[in-house]
Structure 1
């Protein structure tokens, strides 16, 4: 907002939009936001109210930065917020007493095998972020935020994964850039320096049942929000004749996306490809068994694509896991199987151009981009980078469209193979 009265404009926007949100909540008998334990962890609201919420948070974020000033804003960055949160998750502090009851620092310490001093320091720090509260000296009570760790185990796993895997890698990212300047290798990251290993993050996690389970639950939670819903793809991609053709879900895991696609398009056939250990335990739902509507196939996407002549090759949350060096290889390994007109359908973030979104609106995707750098030397890409990636993979790839449906974090990125039949 270019105005000499920007702080007044921001405060007015916050006030007016808050009144509108409050009116919707009260008129529909919904709870107004609070830290009380009766507050739901998630409240599903119509899109126009969600937009008002986002505008309030956006303006509040900018107003806070302006009011703190340059030095205050930097010095108030919550770099230690995850430290206390990690301790709460690791030591199961939120589970040490029921959300409807209170406890004491000493009782929590005994339940979690901690010293009372450490417990007090951890919790009082967390309380400054509204995680737990101290209604009277020495008494500990839950808030809606700490209660969510009890009620939603996948959310607790999300906290654990970020604290255990991502944060340590983040603290060493710059060191990794110094040690391996310009590297695109997935094992030249802050994670390797923090862990003291040459192995990639997921190579280590897969060998540790506890870390593997935490990662799986973390990703399940992270992708459970409406912004990640497969419905955005189903309802906004122009399927055309491919709706009655063959779709190959490359790196499709347990088939979560392919199952939804097959149920949405009654005549399409889907093949889910992933590593042997992933597809070994995969199960085809009963309603998709007739006519082989869905099947699984062991395949490494760094090897030549064995399924030739499919209408669509779908890569959901695949290419953003890899630097350009390896993303190019993944695309090039598809070429021997492609027929003329085959589509490469990518479901990934497409970063917005500069100066389009507010800093707050852009922060989530940019944060995701940083995480990919920290743990995998991978990246999120903007429209120009997606176009360049396909062109470098092979000039016969034509980037047809990039569409970002309203409410979706992922974009629908579609490229067409314009060469002759290779499959």
Structure 2
């Protein structure tokens, strides 16, 4: 009997796992996935239905592999150089805002709204329909929203995220190879694809500091990530009394800890405007537990270039505490500067103090095909293009701590169930 080929194996898997998801949605009376403008914005699978979530991911991974196999190597080598032209134009000229969700429009009306001529509107919109499911044209010349453009029209955070990715991240990606050639193996945050794309000798942080609109837009891009991502239930906070959230933004993690553990005293350190806003939002009942601290904005000499927007990751930590917490901070810095961040904790550290680094860990070879692995690896390259920074593999973390000081003892890392980030921990032994 002939063995089953890979493409048939994948197709059978897709059919099997799709049936699981479809059956679940049907039993629960939930809408099937669709690109209609009134479709659910995400597939509503609750956390407790882990088997259905796994089935959905299996379908996504298998579909991706099957598509590539059926495309073939030669055609896969072709670069889609027009891929996001239409999306960027739609956002720039606000075509998604040109008519309300639930209504229809025409190319002529979109032209009048945007100032683009009818020919350019038509070519841009049809490119976006074919390639990205942006808008729908079920009747020739009659344009309605799709599920995607309905989200953009009504959800400013989602829209802002796409704008940032296309206006800030995409141009930097195009210049990464140029930066690697110009500054071989650089760890400096101002020698990047982002710097070249902006015709600047400054880092992304400095550039945004000089252009507040861009900086505010970038800040909003990350404002949606307020989850503790398994931290509260998977770390022994009940045994601790004090914690410092370094670079803690508006304090969402510290506030969550304070609410869950009333005995905890939490400090949130970030830049002046950020902590001022965080303090203004702090519930009255938590004011004795959570303190916002403005970090000093000091100078750091990076190979001769002054970066005046670096917060005091690079000055001595003033607070003595049981735990120092860093959420998605170290992946913004190359090893050279990650070591400096740790070294500047040392003056405040008491024996037994813990350092928690809460961020993704790059997957090993055994899990490179998963959706989560792809996201982690893509983020790693994103850190390269923006800041010459990096995501790290499991084996790299002990080396970072040992380079910083022999007094650090690496304790290991674990990933809470269903969490994206890992809890990476070290202890100060002095």
Matches within 5 A, 1:344-359: 344-358=355-369
Counterpart among 125, 128, 133 of residue 130 in structure 1: 133
Aligned equivalents of 2:175 and 2:96: distance in 1?
29
SS at match of 2:233: helix
Moved more, 46-55 or 60-69: 46-55
8 Å contact 2:334–2:389 — kept in the other structure?
Answer: yes
1:294 pairs with one of 290, 295, 299: 290
In structure 2, the CA distance between the partners of 1:80 and 1:366, relative to structure 1 (3 Å rule), is farther
| Structure 2 counterparts to residues 377-416 of structure 1, below 5 A | 377-416=388-427
Uncovered stretches (5+) of structure 2, i.e. residues with no partner: 296-311
Paired position in structure 1 for 2:298 = none
Find the counterpart in structure 2 of residue 36 from structure 1: 36
Q: Using the alignment, how far apart are the partners of 1:230 and 1:58 within structure 2?
A: 27
1:359-406 per-residue CA deviation (whole Å, 9 max, x = no partner) reads 544210111111111011110011111111111111221111211122
Note if contact 2:352-2:429 (Cα within 8 Å) is conserved in structure 1.
Answer: yes
Q: Is 1:306 aligned with 2:308?
A: no
Match of 2:98 in 1: 96
Shift of 1:344: 0.1
Cα RMSD (Å): 1.6
Give the Cα separation in 1 of the matches to 2:30 and 2:81: 34
Aligned match of 2:231 in 230, 233, 239? 233
Determine if the alignment matches structure 1 residue 114 to structure 2 residue 127: no
Q: How big is the shift at 1:231? A: 4.4
Q: Per the alignment, do residues 173 and 231 of structure 1 end up closer, same or farther by CA in structure 2, a change over 3 Å counting?
A: closer
Q: Distance in 1 between matches of 2:350 and 2:402?
A: 18
Question: Which residue matches 1:323?
Answer: 334
CA shift at 1:339, angstroms?
0.8
* Deviation larger for 329-338 or 395-404: 395-404
Q: How many residues align?
A: 406
TM norm structure 2:
0.91
Contact 2:160 2:220 in 1 (8 A): yes
Selected match of 1:269 from 256, 265, 272: 265
The aligned residue for residue 172 of structure 1 is 175
Q: Provide structure 1 residue ranges, at least 5 long, that are not aligned to the other structure.
A: none
Give the Cα–Cα distance (whole angstroms) in 1 for the partners of residues 102 and 421 of structure 2: 38
**Cα distance between partner residues in 1 of 2:273 and 2:144:** 44
Q: Which residue of 1 aligns with 2:188?
A: 185
Instruction: Give yes or no for the alignment of 1:285 onto 2:266.
Output: no
